[in-house]
Structure formats: structure tokens, C-alpha cells
Amino acid sequence: ICKVVRDSTLHRYHMQSLVPQSLKADVEALFDHALASRDLLEKLWEKDKVEFMLDIMRQVLLLSDWKFSKTDTLYLVPSLRCDRSMYQCSKSRSDIRVPGLKAVFDFSESFLPVGVFQRLVCLCVIYSGRDKNSQQPLLDKTTSTISFGNQGRIHLCENDEKIYVTFESAQNAWNHLQILLAMMRKLKTGVVSLRWNLELKVDGDYVAYDKVRQKKMKPWFQTIEAAQLKSSSVPNLDISSYLERLCVK
């Protein structure tokens, strides 16, 4: 695993020395875009060990299949994403500065373990890749924009022991929030100390998730009603059982 998950500032040139000229561009793509080619992995791991290593990394969410290339077989290694912020995520509670409904997973009462945000992004990318209508995700080290097919995009930002979320589609925000909650619960099964408070933005202030549900606060309760109406006309998706199969190729 350490042959792939490396510090780009320390190991980029060392990895370049291990591969032939034909794979040097693949090394650059790995460190610049966190995308590993099949050819590069076969060189680093040896061809007969690649499937075994891929299965391990999928199971621990250090890697996911990249379904957004029509020509090459690529794999996302989210921990290698570059530190280039696509949009501003403030240290204050102004969260991600893009329009949409806002939520925050707040870990400040304990801590946000290293790697949790990257694994959440990994799960989102896997989920996105299962829908042929999804747009290619936009990813960097602390921010991500991920499409859920025709249902709209979500924006994630890790900052100061918090994960901020913006849902572009108000109509689908509640369903997307439930998907994220299911993903966070899946991550919690592997991280005993993973505890958070979920808050939703209402009239400019963040309010506890349970209070929003109990008091039926707008605009979130409007999206709940829309989600319930929509779900009555489509097959029910058991997201928990679906996530159990999410890491399987």
C-alpha cells in the first residue's frame, strides 16, 4: 500500500526513478490528480498482485474505482489529492460559499480523525460512479464537488474539525443528507471514536438536526415533504444494505 499512498513532496521523484519513461506521466497524474492508472499499479505491485491489493484498498476505502474515464482504467486515491481549494471554506461558520442548503458535521467536541474526510469522499465518488448521468467529481485536498446523477451536486469541505456540506438541489437535499448520514455511520463502524453533532442551516443559523425534524423547520421540512412524496412513486432504496456492497467492484 505504501508504494502508492505516499507524500508527493517527498516521494514523487523517487517513484519516477522506479518506472520506465512510458509511465512517468502516470506518476504525475497520481500525485497531481490522485488518479492511479492500471499500468502504474501493475508496475509498482507486480501484475499478479494487483487485484488482491485493489480489493484490500477498496475495503478500507483508501481507493475507489474511477468511473469517469472513457479510455483508461483509473483508480482514485483520495489521500493524494492536491491542496488546491476550488472554493473558499471559511474558518468561521459561514461554511462553503456556494448557493444551496447547508449542513455541518461538527466533530469539535471530540476530534475529526485523519482520513475520515477522504474516506467520505471515497464513498461519495463510488456512489456517484454508479449513476451514468453523474458528472466527473471535482476534488482537491479539503474540498470536493460530487454529482449524484440528475439529482444535483453536493459540495464538501473539511475545515477546523468540521465537515461542511452544501446541497445544490433543495428538492433532493433531504435524500442526499440521508445518504451522507448512512455513509458516516458506515465509517463509524471502523472508527470507534467517531462522534459528531449534525446541524442544519435555518434562517442564517445552524440548528440541531433533531430539532429541525421535531419542529418541522423550513426550508428543510419542505424538502422532507418533497422527498417523501417523491419516494412514494419510486422503489425504496435500502441505503444501509447498499453501502455494504458499495466497495465491491
CB atoms within 10 A of CB 2: 6
The set of residues, in sequence order, having a beta carbon less than 8 Å from that of 183 and lying 6+ positions away, is 120, 123, 124, 127, 243
pLDDT at 92: 46
Are 118 and 157 in contact by the 8 Å Cβ rule? The answer is no
pLDDT band (50, 70, 90) for residue 16: confident
CA atoms within 13 A of residue 231's CA, in its CB half-sphere: 15
- Judging by beta carbons within 10 Å of its beta carbon (0-12, 13-18, 19+), is residue 83 exposed, middle or buried? exposed
CA distance 68 to 171: 26
Are 134 and 148 in contact by the 8 Å Cβ rule? The answer is yes
Mean pLDDT of the residues in the chain: 83
pLDDT tens per residue across span 29-87: 998 889 999 999 999 998 999 999 999 999 999 999 999 998 889 999 988 876 555 44
Cell of 88: 473558499
Cell of 59: 475495503
Compute the average pLDDT of residues 102-128. Answer: 94
CA distance 71 to 54: 20
Element (H, E) at 220: helix 220-231
Question: What's the whole-model pTM score?
Answer: 0.83
The set of residues, in sequence order, having a beta carbon less than 8 Å from that of 224 and lying 6+ positions away, is 174, 213, 216
Residue 21 reports pLDDT greater than 70:
yes
pLDDT tens per residue across span 186-211: 998 877 678 999 999 999 999 999 99
Look at residues 65, 75, 83 and name the one whose alpha carbon lies nearest to residue 44.
Answer: 75
Q: DSSP state, 79? A: G
